Amino acid sequence: MSTQDTEISGKESLSRLLDRLGRMARGLQYCHGLNPAQWDSLRFVAQANRFSRTPGALAAFLGTTKGTASQTLNALEKKGYLSRVPDPDDKRVRHIELTEKGAELLAEDPLNCLDQAIGRLPDDMVDTMKEGLERLCINMQSRCGGQDMGICTTCGHFQGPTDAGNMRCGYKQADLSCEDAKRFCINFEAAQTGDC
Amino acid sequence: MSTQDTEISGKESLSRLLDRLGRMARGLQYCHGLNPAQWDSLRFVAQANRFSRTPGALAAFLGTTKGTASQTLNALEKKGYLSRVPDPDDKRVRHIELTEKGAELLAEDPLNCLDQAIGRLPDDMVDTMKEGLERLCINMQSRCGGQDMGICTTCGHFQGPTDAGNMRCGYKQADLSCEDAKRFCINFEAAQTGDC
DNA sequence: TTCTTTTCGTATCGAGTCGAAACCAATCAC
DNA sequence: GTGATTGGTTTCGACTCGATACGAAAAGAA
């Protein structure tokens, strides 16, 4: 029987703290008749650009299967928080759009209180935590897969404003609205050095 | 090193990073035929002292209901990772005990790789992150309830070694084994100043 | 052009989780 | 003793989850 008493000096281990905070956040998300997966999906739809507001991208983001994602979308659509509209170009694709009701609900995102709590921390502490968490994410990701997402303007596929003043995505070969360029994209790839 | 272009809105928010890491950790815990809740429960049983190895304490710790906790325990017991034994004094209570099989499984805790990733971070960064997360936890807890847990030796109810050399808990009015005093307790309360 | 193959999304199945609520038995308070 | 409280379990309906099968559209190869 080996108790892992690694210098228990009252300081809680970092992994335990992350675990605890995660569970806390999870528990908060059983409210307004939704569950954590549904809140996650709703948030995703609100933050993703138009290329990424699809069931497949949602599944990749959540780290689940397309089947599961489809069911979660069914639940949310039934409740009136979003709708799925067919893509005119590719008839296999359906785009997910947040309804007004969905946007209203999102204003009461139970995780907002996490942001409030973060706002009470000193800025330099937040920066250090960001730096550390980012490195943890990258390290974990490399060893367990999973999809990362980023904003178009920092993406390797991003091509600056065109003559017409539009942003452009080199991967999708399509123009981006100013708004979309600031949203998350499932095709995100870290930019190369000095490229574009 | 690419230029850290954080001046644009490409700066990832801390809450998003926490969210991402949480989902990643969650995804890792679907393995060995268990799910995240079951891993959490197994970890809890391994770390809690004897007063806290009960269904009720587990529910409080997980931030769920007693019913749900009971079901999770059913699943784990059926798989042979733990057993529930009646309390001789209070016949309502059942104590949860980790089986040998459970202890073996715990050695392959999927979250161990998180600890490994943390080990790659500089010590001072880890300390700052601990400090920040601890404050976040406390802040969140105060506004959304939830149970905290701590180690007996740092608890307000803790009464130092008795004449017999045993630790003692003033809340339960019971002696503590040396081992139990180092474990987590559901009745934890931060110690008063200068006490113990 | 016709085929195959791949991709995208949905439907279905079974096991199991979730919270809510009802429930029971033991214990406590008066 | 009576009544309230506490600790656990059970049941219920909605939902998640992965796996699988499925269908339609698109892309690729012949």
Shortest distance between the Cα of A85 and any Cα of chain B, in A, equals 28
pLDDT tier at A173 (50, 70, 90 boundaries)?
low
B28 CA – C12 C1', rounded, Å: 27
pTM: 0.80
Contact, B162 vs A42, CB < 8 A?
A: no
In the prediction, which pLDDT does B172 show?
60
CATH code, residues B28-129: 1.10.10.10
- B6, pLDDT greater than 70: no
DSSP string, B75-97: HHHHTTSEEEEE-SS-TT-EEEE
Which residues does chain A have within 8 Å of residue B63's beta carbon, measured at their own beta carbons? 23-24, 26-27
- B195, pLDDT greater than 50: no
Strands B167-169 and B174-176: antiparallel
pLDDT tier at B173 (50, 70, 90 boundaries)?
low
Q: State whether A27 and B129 contact (CB < 8 Å).
A: no
Task: Choose the weakest-confidence range: A175-179, B61-65, B102-106.
Answer: A175-179
Write down the H helix ranges in A29-174.
Answer: 36-47, 55-62, 66-78, 100-106, 112-119, 123-144
**A15 in contact with chain B, both atoms CB, cutoff 8 A:** yes
Chain-wide mean pLDDT for chain B? 77
pLDDT tens, position by position, A85-112: 998 888 889 999 999 999 999 988 888 8
Higher pLDDT, B142 or B117: B117
Nucleotides of D under 7 A from a protein CB: 6-11, 14-21, 23-27
In the prediction, which pLDDT does B95 show?
92
Which residues does chain A have within 8 Å of residue B125's beta carbon, measured at their own beta carbons? 128, 131-132
- B2, pLDDT greater than 60: no
The mean pLDDT of B89-105, rounded to a whole number, is 90
pLDDT tier at A11 (50, 70, 90 boundaries)?
very low
Is A94's CB less than 7 Å from nucleic acid strand C?
Answer: yes
The percentage of residues in chain A with a pLDDT greater than 70, rounded to a whole number, is 69
- DSSP for residue B30: -
Contact, B49 vs B183, CB < 8 A?
A: yes
CA distance A47 to A69: 17
In the prediction, which pLDDT does A17 show?
81
Q: Which two tokens stand for residue A43?
A: 């948030």
Instruction: For domain A16-136, give its CATH number from 2.60.40.10, 3.40.50.1100, 1.10.10.10, 3.40.50.720.
Output: 1.10.10.10
In the prediction, which pLDDT does B73 show?
93
Domains of chain A by residue range: 16-136, 148-196
Shortest distance between the Cα of B127 and any Cα of chain A, in A, equals 8
DSSP string, A108-142: T-TTHHHHHHHHTS-HHHHHHHHHHHHHHHHHHHH
- A65, pLDDT greater than 50: yes
In the prediction, which pLDDT does B193 show?
41
- B1, pLDDT greater than 60: no
In the prediction, which pLDDT does A194 show?
38
Task: Choose the weakest-confidence range: A52-61, A120-129, B76-85, B170-179.
Answer: B170-179
pLDDT tens, position by position, B128-158: 999 998 888 888 776 665 556 666 666 666 6
Q: Which two tokens stand for residue B36?
A: 């995240």
pLDDT tens, position by position, A179-196: 666 777 777 666 544 333
**B137 in contact with chain A, both atoms CB, cutoff 8 A:** yes
A79 CA – C23 C1', rounded, Å: 32
Is B38's CB less than 7 Å from nucleic acid strand C?
Answer: yes
Q: State whether B121 and A135 contact (CB < 8 Å).
A: yes
Higher pLDDT, B65 or A145: B65
In the prediction, which pLDDT does A95 show?
92
Rounded alpha-carbon distances, angstroms, from residue B29 to A7, A123, A134, B22, B71: 26, 33, 20, 11, 18
- A136, pLDDT greater than 90: no
User: Which residues, by CB, come closer than 7 Å to strand D?
Assistant: A 35, 37-38, 62-68, 71-72, 75, 78-79, 89-92; B 27, 30, 54-57, 66-67, 69-71, 73-74, 84, 90, 92-94
